[in-house]
Chains A and B, each alone.
Chain A
Amino acid sequence: MARNVTSGRKTINTLAAWAIGILIFFPILWTILTSFKSEAQAISDPPIFFFFDWTLENYSVVQERSNYMRFLWNSVIIAGGSTILGIIIAVPAAWSMAFVPSNRTKDILLWMLSTKMLPAVGVLYPMYLLFIKMGLLDTRIGLVIVLMLINMPIIVWMLYTYFREIPGEILEASRMDGASLRDEIIYVLTPMALPGIASTLLLNFILAWNEAFWTLNLTAVNAAPLTAFIASYSSPEGLFFAKLSAASTMAIAPILLLGWFSQKQLVRGLTFGAVK
Chain B
Amino acid sequence: MGQIVLSKVKKAFGDVVVIPPLDLTIEDGEFTVFVGPSGCGKSTLLRLIAGLEDVSSGSIQIDGRESSDAPPSKRGLAMVFQSYALYPHMTVRKNIAFPLRMAKMDKAEIEKRVDNAAKVLNLADYIDRRPGQLSGGQRQRVAIGRAIVREPSAFLFDEPLSNLDAALRMGMRLEISELHKRLDTTMVYVTHDQVEAMTMADKIVVLNAGNIEQVGSPLDLYHKPKNIFVAGFIGSPKMNMITGETAAAHGAHTIGVRPEHIDVSDSGGTWSGVVGVSEHLGSDSFFHIHETGLADMITVRSGGEVGFTRGDRVSLTPRPDMIHKFNEQGDRIS
Contact = CB atoms under 8 A, between A and B. Distances in A.
Interface of A: 167, 169-170, 172-180, 183, 187-188, 191-192, 194
Contacts of A188: 87
Interface of A is mostly: helix
B102 interface: yes
B81 A172 contact: yes
B146 A177 contact: yes
Given A178-B73, A179-B73, A173 B102 contact: no
Nearest to A171: B85
Interface of B is mostly: loop
Given A172-B52, A192-B88, A177 B102 contact: yes
Contacts of A194: 89
B110 interface: no
Interface of B: 50-52, 71-73, 77-79, 81-83, 85-89, 98-99, 102-103, 146, 150
Contact of A175 (B71, B88, B103, B146): B71
B94 to A, nearest CB: 10
A191 B95 CA distance: 14
The 6 closest A-B CB pairs, nearest first, are: A173-B85, A177-B99, A178-B102, A169-B85, A178-B73, A176-B79
Contacts of B77: 176
Contacts, number: 61
Contact of B83 (A169, A174, A180, A191): A169
A178 B100 CA distance: 9
Contact of A180 (B73, B79, B88): B73
B328 to A, nearest CB: 44
A178 B86 CA distance: 15
Given A167-B83, A169-B83, A176 B89 contact: no
Contact of A176 (B73, B83, B103): B73
A167 B83 CA distance: 9
Contacts of A172: 52, 72, 79, 81, 85
A178 B85 CA distance: 15
A192 B82 CA distance: 20
A177 B150 CA distance: 8
A172 B143 CA distance: 13
A170 to B, nearest CB: 5
